[in-house]
A and B are shown apart, each in its own frame.
Chain A
Amino acid sequence: MATTNIETPPIMTLWWEFRIKGTYVMSILIRGNPGDTHLMMGNEAIVRGALEAGISVAAGYPGTPSSEIIETLARLSPNIEPGNCPDIYTEWSVNEKVALEVAAAASFAGLRSLAVMKQPGVNVAADFLMHLALSGVRAGMVLIVADDPGALSSINEGETRLYAKLMEIPMLEPGNFQEAKDMTCWAFELSERLNMPVLVRTVTRLSHASGNVTLGTLAIPDRRAFFRFDGEVLDPMEGPIMTPPVEIKHCSQLAKLDLAAEIFEDSPFNTYEGPEAPELLIITTSICDLYSREVVNLYELGNRVGILKLGTTWPLPVRTVLERLKTTRKVLFVEEVQPFIEEAVKVLFAGSDMVGPGVAGSGEARSGMAFYGKQSGHIPMFGEMNPERVTRALEAILDLPPGLNEGYRVGQTESLPIPPREISFCPGCPHRASFFSINMVLALDNRRGFTCGDIGCYSMGMLPGGFSTLKTLHSMGSGSGLASGFGKLDRFGMNQPVVAVCGDSTFFHSAMPPLANAIHNNSAFTLVILDNSGTAMTGFQPHPGLTVDTIGNQVPSIDIEKVCRAMGALTRTCDPFDLETTQKYLLDCIKDPEGVKVLILKQACALSPQKRHTRSFEVKVDKELCIGDACGCNRICTRIFSCPGLIWDGENLRAEINEILCVGCGVCASICPVNAIMLKETP
């Protein structure tokens, strides 16, 4: 079976152009003058902040909404803008834990460094993070984590902020675009003052939104790396860097946190706006500050409601918070997702002199002080914040007039049904073909076989557009881990064939350990590696299976099939667009009750640099051959395969090609039972 060889020099050039060139933002980031104001995405503001701090190393693993940070830094390679670009080493690491380690090494060697990841990545990096927090760092080191409240581009809405408390490290939360830059920059100073990693937590609505940012001065640091280790074990600048002696190090870590809290008392990132003694005090942080302001302005509540915006959210600046609590009788917490500040402030209040010993002894709250938020039910415990949630909370706490547009003719829009727009695979996506084949084969086998999902675009295999193929979906690599477990249940009578899918980047990130586990423990399942030649979902970041690195240099690649074979799996590779061969191979795999089989379905993503604006075939429906409902095919092309490049022509009752959307992959032609879909090779 011939597979598409994508690692050829012309492709490298394409890759380079796609990833590196043509971004005007670059010029602002490296040539923008101090004092100038530009419209910047939150993630770009973070990059500028890191450049103003003079970072030398940045490492991360792609994940929405954090990916643009490393992407942008990668484009700052000196060969793009000789003389202008700072010489930064940028790396897409194999996973988040390694990214944090790579960044830490730079800090240990005296260079400021940045690690970047989305929230679930912190779970992966957590083990190292705990030890790093205890050992301490040397040059400024900042961990940027992007949470996704409301799961806009995730399959969870995990909270990073609890890690600051758990790991006992300081945390900053930018509340707007300017702060995204300023706080990132200042975080390095703080990190060096404390010899600790500093966590900066952003969210989708800040990272992916844009606003005005006034630039500061770029730092030109001395970039000489040297790791000092000859000093005393407790000397943070000269000694070896490790966690023992644990109790002494832990004690010093806690002292550093106390110092952080003290520094935070004077931080310009904690602001108060409103009357001296507000009827209601909103305590908020992050982008929720903008929602709070929006609603206070909209309802003209500026003389009744005050807003305490906290930018330094762990450890909390105790005096700043308590002084504000003393000016009011009602407090509303506006934050996402968990009641993190809400709980912390309530604990502060309970231990403060505002609660007298008599009252505390009687078990009653101090008379007249009311706390509203997630725990009182005024704001939902789940989902992202928005102006409406703040409005509803304020309506319940204060007497507000009802919303202005209640009389809008909403009823009339509802009378016209608007079909939902389910997300799906792109036209020409290899995953559609792969899942089509997996479904066909599992149905043919007829033993109720199933597929364990994993993280990537192919997670959409759980949706109707992916034929609802996936029956489990959890964290990176867990499809293979679950399959390894399912594959041992035959002794309890389970004879369902087990399939796991994983992408090429996910394979290196975290599917190799479960694969080793399965092979060593003699589990039986089929791992289908959906190799589309890049970390496609987040924008084609490279991974160890490719011949290019983060900034486009040619580097050694690791052959996935050889790795699997060396580990002891039976392997095969084919092109998922060749449905017949794919299905034959897959059927062989699942019929074999013994051992781990790996089927690599290799076909580049339809949006990949090498495929953009190209078509393999001109696709046409032969109007004579397609007889629509009279055929008996039950519209398999549009009803089942449902590629967006296909249209069911309701008037002529025939399939049609959507010429705007079709990318000419040609797969639908092999699905039509009467060969009515015609392919003509493009020159």
Chain B
Amino acid sequence: MTPPVKSSTANILHDPYNLIITGVGGQGNVISSRMIGNMLAAKGFKVTIGETFGASQRGGSVMSHVRISSKAALSPQIPVHRAHMVVSLEPMETLRVLKDYGNQDICVICNTRPTHPIGVISGRLDYPSMAEMEERIKELSRRSWFFDATGMATRIGDPIFANIIMAGALAATGDLPLERSLFEKNLESKFPRAKVILNLKAFDQGYAMI
């Protein structure tokens, strides 16, 4: 059982802190945003997560808005150009998010493994090269980190761990108080020990990327 929210709060870099987790339907955005939200709600923050899922997201772009504040409940949509951090499970989706929510101070953690849209698979459209995308993301953000989280996750045993790797990386930025012990406690409420160990391995590998 997730521990109930306590009244004490640790530090968040901005109040409200606006985090966007983006990717492609099926990559596990929803799990990821809820896990991070639960960890912070358990610390006493007011958390609002806005997300779109359902049939419309089969293979489509998926975006979760995670908003953390010590003061008031916030709207489930971040106002345009007001995000602080983009955690992206797919490189092209990073650019899509930056276009609408980016600003001079935004930071980006980017999985470099592309998932090609149908238009690219069928040859109607071109997928930009990673070098081009990386260059553009760097121009459009204050700080950015790039690594192949899907590859790392596959080596741990399942590409879905890319989520956890990204969460570990986010924790390492120090923007939000996402301690490893809290993460472990959160996992233990849901998974058997063997799974917890794999998740922690993913978290640590992500943490090391920052």
A interface residues with partner B (beta carbon < 8 Å)? 22, 24, 27-28, 31-33, 36-39, 64-65, 152-153, 176-178, 204-206, 208-212, 287, 290-291, 293-295, 297-298, 386-388, 391, 403-405, 408-410, 412-414, 416-426, 457, 459-460, 464-465, 537-538, 635, 638-640, 642-644, 646-648, 658, 660-661
Contact = CB atoms under 8 A, between A and B. Distances in A.
Q: Which 4 A-B pairs have the closest CB atoms?
A: A405-B81, A153-B54, A36-B4, A64-B54
Interface in B42-66: 46-61
Interface string B61-83: 10000000000111111111110
A51 to B, nearest CB: 16
Contacts of A405: 80-82, 103
6 contacts: A28-B1, A38-B5, A413-B98, A413-B140, A421-B118, A424-B59
A211 B41 CA distance: 9
Contacts of A152: 52, 54, 56
Given A205-B50, A417-B126, A647-B116, A457 B55 contact: yes
B9 interface: no
Given A290-B74, A465-B118, A421 B59 contact: yes
Interface residues of B, number: 71
B103 A209 contact: no
Contacts of A388: 79-80
Given A208-B53, A211-B49, A212-B73, A412 B139 contact: yes
Contacts of A638: 121-123
Nearest to B116: A647
Contacts of A32: 1, 4
B117 A420 contact: yes
A18 to B, nearest CB: 15
B34 A39 contact: yes
B14 to A, nearest CB: 13
Given A39-B47, A647-B121, A423 B73 contact: no
Given A211-B48, A426-B59, A648-B123, A391 B34 contact: no
B150 interface: yes
Given A413-B98, A418-B95, A422-B119, 6 more contacts: A38-B5, A209-B50, A210-B48, A290-B73, A416-B132, A647-B121
Contact of B46 (A22, A211, A412, A640): A211
A413 B118 contact: no
A413 B92 CA distance: 11
A661 B99 contact: no
B142 to A, nearest CB: 12
Contacts of A416: 95, 128, 132-133, 136
Interface of B: 1-2, 4-5, 24-26, 34, 37-38, 41, 46-61, 72-82, 92-93, 95-96, 98-99, 102-104, 113, 115-123, 125-128, 132-133, 136, 139-140, 150, 154, 159, 189-190
Contacts of A410: 99, 102
Contacts of A538: 54-55
Contacts of B96: 418
A294 B74 contact: yes
A637 B76 CA distance: 40
A36 B41 CA distance: 11
Interface centre among B2, B56, B77, B118 (most CB of A within 10 A): B118
B52 A419 contact: no
A39 B41 contact: yes
A293 B98 contact: no
A205 B77 contact: yes
A277 B159 CA distance: 57
A96 to B, nearest CB: 18
A177 B76 CA distance: 11
Given A152-B54, A404-B81, A418 B128 contact: yes
B185 to A, nearest CB: 12
A295 B98 CA distance: 21
A424 B56 contact: no
A27 B102 contact: no
Contact of B58 (A33, A36, A423): A423
A661 B127 CA distance: 17
B118 A644 contact: yes
Given A39-B41, A409-B139, A418-B99, A294 B58 contact: no
Nearest to B150: A660
Contacts of B104: 408
Contacts of A287: 75-76
Contact of A646 (B92, B121, B140): B121
Contact of A290 (B56, B75, B120, B136): B75
B83 to A, nearest CB: 10
A153 B55 contact: yes
Nearest to B90: A421
B56 A153 contact: yes
A419 B55 contact: no
Contacts of A425: 58-59
A644 B5 contact: no
Nearest to B81: A405
A294 B79 contact: yes
A27 B189 CA distance: 10
A459 B103 CA distance: 37
Given A418-B95, A426-B59, A211 B47 contact: yes
Contacts of A212: 5, 41, 46-47, 73
A81 to B, nearest CB: 11
Given A176-B73, A405-B103, A413-B99, A419 B92 contact: yes
B140 A422 contact: no
A287 B53 CA distance: 18
Contacts of B37: 39, 210
A1 to B, nearest CB: 28
Nearest to A413: B99
A408 to B, nearest CB: 6
Interface centre among B82, B95, B122 (most CB of A within 10 A): B122
B4 A38 contact: yes
A422 B118 contact: yes
Nearest to A635: B123
Given A39-B47, A419-B125, A421-B60, A537 B1 contact: no
A73 B50 CA distance: 22
Nearest to A416: B136
A215 to B, nearest CB: 9
Nearest to B26: A426
B140 A291 contact: no
A64 B41 contact: no
